[in-house]
Amino acid sequence: MKNTDVNLDDPGVYTQYDREGMLTHLHNMPQLCQQAWQTAMAYELPATYRTINKVIISGMGGSAIGGDLVRSLAASEAQIPIIIHRDYGLPSFVDDRTLVIVSSYSGTTEETLSSFERALETPARKLVITAGGSLKNIAEKEKIPVFSFNYKAPPRAALAFSFLPILAFLQKLDFISDKSADVADTVATLQSLSDRINEAVVLSRNPAKQLAHELFGQMVVVYGGDVLSEVAHRWKTQFNENSKAWSGYEVLPELNHNAVVGYRFPRELAEKIVVVLLHSSSLPERIRLRYRITRDLLQQSGINYQAVEGTGSHPLSQMVSLVLFGDYVSYYLAILYQVDPSPVAVIDYLKGQLREPTS
């Protein structure tokens, strides 16, 4: 375990560096999941939405990752394709049997507003998920259904509202099976996990703090397969935004056809990279075999790796427990780097530059 100037068991470090209160959002995750699910299940969708044959989820960053998680979870049973759109506009195949779900926490995301404006020009069914902004105003004016929520947080900390409502809507439209019991298990699993990895649990008994120490000063690459593919994506973006750190992610089985060959050069990188393998009992046997072989290849190449196991009785709870674990790890890593996890000044700068008139 690496030595740093920060003691994660000192309550004062969280007051010192977490000035905008990201820790509160981590504490709230179990309750937010329950609230998001219950609110969405009570939300009435137009009956005509049952005639759709495909779903496009348009969003960016923290507002889009919920769609990614839905797509990977529902892939084995969804009766319709679910497509994630992270860009301006919309695909040309959008028609009157497409449900376009536009998700933007702020309601001001440039790319997502572009997608919504394009959707308004089509006969597609439309649904907006937002906490406000121009997106909500335009949707209400155009009489488009809006699932609105009131939770003040960075978009990435409001994941429950960009993830579970979409899952609930697919269930209500009979495109996936009933997930109510799975959600209840997930909420209980998250609470139990939080009790084991929150900031009050000392380093010697806290696996999230321990992993953050292992990752300090390293380039982190996260591996995930099957339903954990997009959980790996979430870990990567949380290291970027919370920890202000370089990170990447790879997906099994695809990484076994390319990434494993690239372990050799440059040789000096092997000492600066840690691979985190996300695992759960719900993974198919062939994917689990690939995990074992990949661990062997990493060891043979002298590359440090750490494994993290999802908890809970269902794929949903195992996915979301790994999301929460990764959120805590990226949070603790931010504290070790002595930075506030919440602000994303670089993104704010970029958005400001985009608003500047071009010559």
Q: Which of the following is catalytic: 257, 268, 285, 356?
A: 257
Q: Which of the following is catalytic: 25, 241, 250, 314?
A: 241
The yes-or-no answer on residue 356 being catalytic is no
The yes-or-no answer on residue 25 being catalytic is no
The yes-or-no answer on residue 241 being catalytic is yes
Q: Which of the following is catalytic: 2, 20, 271, 351?
A: 351
How far separated are the first and last CA of the chain, in Å rounded?
A: 52
Q: Catalytic residue numbers?
A: 241, 257, 351
